C-alpha cells in the first residue's frame, strides 16, 4: 500500500487496520496503518468542516406521490387505483 493512493469509497489502510485491531492479530505494518487511518480521519473532518464534502443524503427533485393522492396523469382516480398497481 503506497502512500498517496486513496479511494473515496474505501481506504484499504483503514480497512486493514480495523480488521487486524479488532481481531487482535499482530502485523508489522499495523502502526503505519493506524497512523494513516488517523491522518485520513483528520483530513476528512477538516474537509467536512470547511464544506468541501458533499452531503450523504439523497437529493429529491420531485414531490413523491402519496398512495391516496390524485393520480398525476389526470385520470381523476386515486393513485392507488390508477397507477399504483
Q: pLDDT tens digits, residue range 1-28?
A: 444 444 454 567 778 778 888 888 888 8
pLDDT in tens, 40-52: 888 878 877 777 6
70 phi and psi angles, rounded to 5 deg: -65, 150
Alpha carbon 39 to chain centroid, angstroms: 19
CB 80 within 8 A of CB 67: yes
> d(Cα 51, Cα 49) in Å, to the nearest integer?
5
pTM > 0.85? no
What span, in angstroms and rounded, lies between the C-alpha atoms of 80 and 53?
A: 39
SS3 67: coil
Amino acid at each position: 500500500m503506497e502512500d498517496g493512493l486513496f479511494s473515496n469509497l474505501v481506504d484499504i489502510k483503514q480497512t486493514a487496520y480495523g480488521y487486524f485491531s479488532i481481531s487482535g492479530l499482530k502485523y508489522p505494518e499495523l502502526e503505519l496503518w493506524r497512523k494513516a487511518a488517523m491522518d485520513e480521519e483528520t483530513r476528512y473532518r477538516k474537509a467536512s468542516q470547511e464544506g468541501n464534502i458533499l452531503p450523504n443524503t439523497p437529493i429529491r427533485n420531485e414531490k413523491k406521490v402519496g398512495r391516496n393522492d390524485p393520480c398525476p396523469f389526470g385520470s381523476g382516480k386515486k393513485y392507488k387505483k390508477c397507477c399504483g398497481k
